[in-house]
Amino acid sequence: MEKLIIKGGVPLTGEIKISGAKNAALPILAASLLSGAPIQLSNIPHLQDVTTIVSLLGQMGVNITLDERSNIEVQAASLTSFHAPYELVRTMRASVLVLGPLLSRFGEAQVSLPGGCAIGTRPVDQHLKGMQAMGAEISIENGYIKAKAKRLHGATIVMDLITVTGTENIMMAAALAKGQTIIHNAAREPEVEDLANFLNVLGAKISGAGTSTIVIDGVDELGGGSYHVLPDRIETGTYLAAATVTRGRIKVKNTRPDLIESILLKLEETGAHIDTGTDWISLDMKGNRPRSVNISTAPYPAFPTDMQAQMMAVNAVGEGSGVITETVFENRFMHVQELLRMGADITLKGNSAVCNGTDKLHGAPVMATDLRASASLVLAGLAAKDETSIDRIYHIDRGYECIEEKLTQLGARIHRIPSESKQ
């Protein structure tokens, strides 16, 4: 297993480009199962999770071609399998996104139940409930979701809670269903809207995506088309937070400030000076230590749970104390134990983390437990004195494209080593 070695204490400065959004690319790739025609996708990030979904599609018989500029052409003319095996789903829960498209276009799917993960139990009951309302017969056998349907029909679905991939799965299933589906209490995340925009390019009839009521008028078939995936708002926020913890000054390009208003407001509260254009954001700490902030995570447009761990690193080095409350996942504080090893002062009280900031964070060997937790440790390492080594960084490769290269471009001292080798 590889490690990241970081020598902290350098204020980040410079410019980087933001990649395409992981959490839009994954459902869009899954949605390509809904059409037999060729689809060209651009701004797909180079990430382990993308490789996982591409191999899943490949195993099902989808034709996939990558060109040298990392555009992907996908064509699911016919499939040889409707099966998403445990071995793949276990490594990436988003594999469950093939359920809706398979059921809708081919009338059958066997998808492994994802099981628990490092950030919570994460059931998929809402995905199944929605598809059952549309006429699917679903059973759970030997750890697999087995779903069948002659042709799904439209339905009015009220989600019991806001779920991003749940909304996406039902929206994809409804795209080829007979009649109209209405999803109430839908997730409003920009990635849900991006998926709807993509499906509409292929000929779907979806309106209201980005609001809490989505209306899908089912069509008989979808065609081909080209689509450019939206920028990654969490990657954007992570680099801005990295500049904040290091008291730096950076500009991120190829991004969308309108997608991260809640994050920008919190960063401003820390003392960051922020400027934006249509596709760029600059952040300048003017050499000052950030102030700690209070945050409560919630579905979009509120503060995203996927930025909670990174803001914990900001509070760890911030002036004063801040309370971070996690309301989306029940177990998303695994990074706290690791930050304590670096000298942070954080106390967990139920789903809140009370942090008294210190300007004496020190390097330590730490272990990544999930994707965003690993980003938090990278940020802490960049701010800390001395050297931090982060183990199990395969987590970070799931969601951050070329992270060492981008941070090196911003002046960070960071490199990757194989676990066993001496530094």
Q: Which stretches of the chain bind ligand EPU, using CB under 6 A?
A: 23, 26, 93-94, 120, 122-127, 161, 163-166, 187, 191, 304-306, 328-329, 371-372, 399
In the complex with ligand EPU, the residue whose CB is nearer, 94 or 339, is: 94
In the complex with ligand EPU, the residue whose CB is nearer, 104 or 238, is: 238
In the complex with ligand EPU, the residue whose CB is nearer, 168 or 391, is: 168
Least distance CB 167 / ligand EPU (angstroms): 8
Beta strand extents in 113-163 (DSSP E only) = 137-141, 144-148, 156-158
Residue from 117, 201, 302, 340 carrying the catalytic annotation:
117
The crossing angle, in degrees rounded to 10, of helices 99-106 and 125-133 is: 20
The sheet carrying 108-112 orders its strands as 83-84, 108-112, 144-148, 137-141
Neighbouring-strand partners of residue 321: 356
Least distance CB 115 / ligand EPU (angstroms): 12
Least distance CB 159 / ligand EPU (angstroms): 8
Count CB-CB contacts under 10 A for residue 52: 18
DSSP 4: E
Determine whether 117 is an active site residue. yes
In the complex with ligand EPU, the residue whose CB is nearer, 161 or 417, is: 161
Q: With 0-12 CB in 10 A as exposed, 13-18 as middle and 19+ as buried, what is 247?
A: buried
Report the C-alpha gap between 412 and 403 in whole angstroms. Answer: 11
In the complex with ligand EPU, the residue whose CB is nearer, 169 or 292, is: 169
Report the C-alpha gap between 69 and 252 in whole angstroms. Answer: 21
Amino acid at 359: D
Q: What is the DSSP string of 47-62?
A: -HHHHHHHHHHHHHT-
Least distance CB 297 / ligand EPU (angstroms): 9
Residue tagged 């490769």 (tokens): 397
Q: Is the distance from CB of 367 to CB of 392 less than 8 angstroms?
A: yes
Least distance CB 239 / ligand EPU (angstroms): 15
Catalytically active residues are 117
